Structure 1
Amino acid sequence: MTTTEQFSLSEQDKALLPTDEDVRFYAEHGWYLTKKLFTDAEVDELVAASERYYAGERSRRLPVRPPRLAYWAPADGDVQRHNDYVHYESDALAKLLLKPIIGAVAARLAGAAEIRVFQSTLIFKPPISGEPSNVVPWHFDKHYWSSSSSENMLTAFIPFHDCAEEMGTITHVDGSNRWAEIGNEDSTTRHFAERDKSQLEQMLSTNAAHNGVEVTKVPMVIPKGHMSFHHCRTYHGSGANVSSRPRRAVSLHLQDGANEFREFPLSDGSRAFYNHDSLVRKTPDGRPDYADPDYCPVLWRD
């Protein structure tokens, strides 16, 4: 998408935007359940496109493999699947995931004039109740987006079906986006998959106690075609899939137009790293360009 492209919504789509009350709710609670943004037919096409992706269909492939890339392959077996950059590798998935209405909803919640994709991760949680990889520990996304300057980034969790607690739906810690954080050492810049689950549980409890609040967990019951948004500082996780069906979804991570790469020094003298840093073009001053349209296309511009 070019920087001059204009975006607009139909009157029908405008009715799907968050109200002023919804925006206030999101600011206070750190999450928001949308109206129905996808038709049933569109959701069914997401399922079909994801199956073709798992079978090996690609519109293009990443030119290099970043060091922290999540990229399930059939040889990995019946574990929870995570595949990053599906909006880049699959035109069939991108056609639906890059709908302007998703960006327009995000722009309302974030108070931003522009929304770009930051990352997209295709997720498949198999219906195996005892599979350890199905349980996602408590974390918030900004920890491993430390090389991003923005504090307004957000994520749309997009299930490909009705999604309730028995499927291991996303669960938010209510209001945690407003907590003052303590204990933010270097290790928090690592992705939750690289960290000890008990340490993450302790971090959640410690920060709740520091803020003088109880941990209130809200499992999101998401009807087909709807999606859940959460703020980049909202603690969230998910439990086991104890249903008889796989839980299929995409986590669509989004950045406001002001976001850019920043140097984030670590105690060992290195700098925080994100996979984009291996892929995107460079800015005139030599930094990774988080507005590279190949990897971070614009979803919405007011």
Structure 2
Amino acid sequence: MTTTHPTLTAEEEALLPSEADLRHYAEHGWYLSKKLLTDAEVDELVAATDRYYAGERDRHLPVRPPRLAYWDPSRGDVQRHNDYVHYEHDVIGRILRKPLIGAVAARLARADEIRVFQSTLIWKPPISGEPSNIVPWHFDKHYWASSSSEDMLTAFIPFHDCGEEMGTITMVDGSHRWQEVGADDTVVRHFADRDRDQLEVMLAENAAHNGAEIRKIPMVIPKGHMSFHHCRIYHGSGANVSGRPRRAISLHLQDGGNAWREYPLSDGTLAAYNHDVLVRRTPQGRPDYADPDFCPVIWRRGAAQGG
């Protein structure tokens, strides 16, 4: 990769991760960014997501994927998850496609191109005893078995200062480097469909197998900053006891080399992702994870795609 990105301003160049940051990410599996969104951009996100929750859409998904996370008011005051917000709402999508975010991800993944993979709008209510607020330990690659890349990553983007009292995202330090044991077909199911105790046991077993300490690092993230994490790092989050909602977007990102792959399961079916019923097909008839409608490029070496 080149170290200069002509589409960024000099001020933005200074916000990219340093070589020391890249070494930290490779060793620990997570990175806390500098201020990548201005206060005005974050405030615009807040206003746009308020309108989204009120029903505003610029377009709707053409079909409803089988594992779509899509909160609506009938579900009550639980933790809200809404997928594909970058597709359904133009203002949200424009801010999430900010080239600087893609440039940071490209450096961390050592990639020439970064595309959106998924975006999930999250609202964690300030209810300490709400079961849906607890996100058990998991890593994202389990749910992306139909993706060929091992370098995918996620930007967690809170809309405010976000610390432990809000139930911030928390990483199991360095766990992306563990050799996985005890995995079977159940790992491709989303954590919401699995037993939390089983996930705790899986974390402990994998730590023991690797002779590793389970070191949990809460991400303390100021407004406008974000955390990035590797697709194989264990992470989760706890209760929100702050007295106000924790609002954020998880922006899942794929490097340019990622593509759909055949991943057989023990019952003879193939692992699938929600994209598979939405995106266009390649000439070979496979789901195209480079479909610009659902997986737009936000950074390419020499040319950013941020419009």
TM-score by length of 2: 0.96
2:155 matched to which residue of 1? 156
TM-aligned CA deviation for residue 184 of structure 1: 1.3
Q: Structure 2 CA distance, aligned partners of 1:44 and 1:192? A: 31
Deviations 1:149-184 (A, max 9, x none): 000000000000000000000000000010000011
Query: Runs in 1 of length 4+ with deviation above 4 angstroms?
Result: none
Q: Give 3-state SS (helix, strand or coil) of 2:52's partner.
A: helix
Q: Structure 2 CA distance, aligned partners of 1:171 and 1:287? A: 35
2:85 matched to which residue of 1? 86
- Is the CA contact (8 Å cut-off) linking 1:145 and 1:274 kept in structure 2? yes
Q: Structure 1 CA distance, aligned partners of 2:79 and 2:40? A: 25
Alignment of 1:256-275 (within 5 A): 256-275=255-274
2:138 matched to which residue of 1? 139
Q: Structure 2 CA distance, aligned partners of 1:285 and 1:38? A: 39
Unaligned 5+ segments in structure 1 are 1-5
Unaligned 5+ segments in structure 2 are 302-307
TM-aligned CA deviation for residue 275 of structure 1: 0.1
2:305 matched to which residue of 1? none
TM-score by length of 1: 0.98
Q: Structure 2 CA distance, aligned partners of 1:63 and 1:184? A: 34
Q: Give 3-state SS (helix, strand or coil) of 1:171's partner.
A: strand
Q: Structure 2 CA distance, aligned partners of 1:193 and 1:289? A: 27
**Comparing 191-200 and 68-77, the one that deviates more:** 191-200
Q: Give 3-state SS (helix, strand or coil) of 1:21's partner.
A: helix
* RMSD (Å) for aligned C-alpha atoms: 0.8
TM-aligned CA deviation for residue 7 of structure 1: 7.3
Alignment of 1:2-81 (within 5 A): 8-81=7-80
Deviations 1:104-132 (A, max 9, x none): 00000000000000000000000011000
Q: Structure 2 CA distance, aligned partners of 1:118 and 1:95? A: 15
Deviations 1:249-296 (A, max 9, x none): 000000000000000000000000100001000000000000000000
1:104 matched to which residue of 2? 103
Count of matched residue pairs: 297
Alignment of 1:175-194 (within 5 A): 175-194=174-193
Amino acid aligned to 1:145: W
Q: Structure 2 CA distance, aligned partners of 1:274 and 1:213? A: 31
Amino acid aligned to 2:19: D
Amino acid aligned to 1:168: G
> Does residue 202 of structure 2 align to residue 203 of structure 1?
yes
Q: Give 3-state SS (helix, strand or coil) of 1:124's partner.
A: strand
